[in-house]
Amino acid sequence: MQSKHREIFSADPEAGEGDYGSAIVISLIAKGAMSEADIIKELLVDYDETHGGEPSAEVKKRIKTTIENLKTSGVLVEVVGGVLQLNLE
């Protein structure tokens, strides 16, 4: 099965390369608001499809950091119930 978001992990994630999905996080949220947990789940499934296994703790940390950076920069905003959506202002 081919990864539906292969560009996320096109670099070697275990070598600390790549930004871990800011573009795909934005495209996921553009389709509809999602919780942070759902975004992380989607990225981890994609990692498994792309690399065939469980990511390291460092990769998981970088995924969470990417989401936090998008929130801090104002690209994503948290709405009721911890759901994230794009900041359209």
Distance CA 56, CA 60 (A): 6
pLDDT by residue (tens digit) across 23-65? 778 888 888 889 999 988 888 888 888 888 888 888 888 888 8
- Note the pLDDT of residue 16: 52
Please indicate, yes or no, if residue 24 is contained in any of the structural domains: yes
pLDDT by residue (tens digit) across 10-26? 445 555 555 566 777 88
Count of other CB atoms within 10 angstroms of residue 8: 24
Q: Which domain holds residue 16?
A: 6-86
- Note the pLDDT of residue 35: 92
Please indicate, yes or no, if residue 35 is contained in any of the structural domains: yes
CATH of the domain at 67: 1.10.10.10
Please indicate, yes or no, if residue 56 is contained in any of the structural domains: yes
Please indicate, yes or no, if residue 42 is contained in any of the structural domains: yes
Judged on CB neighbours under 10 Å (0-12, 13-18, 19+), 25 is: buried
Specify the number of domains making up the chain.
1
**Residue 86: closest CA among 63, 78, 69, 39:** 78
Task: Using alpha carbons only, give the angle 64, 66, 37 rounded to the nearest 5 degrees.
Answer: 40
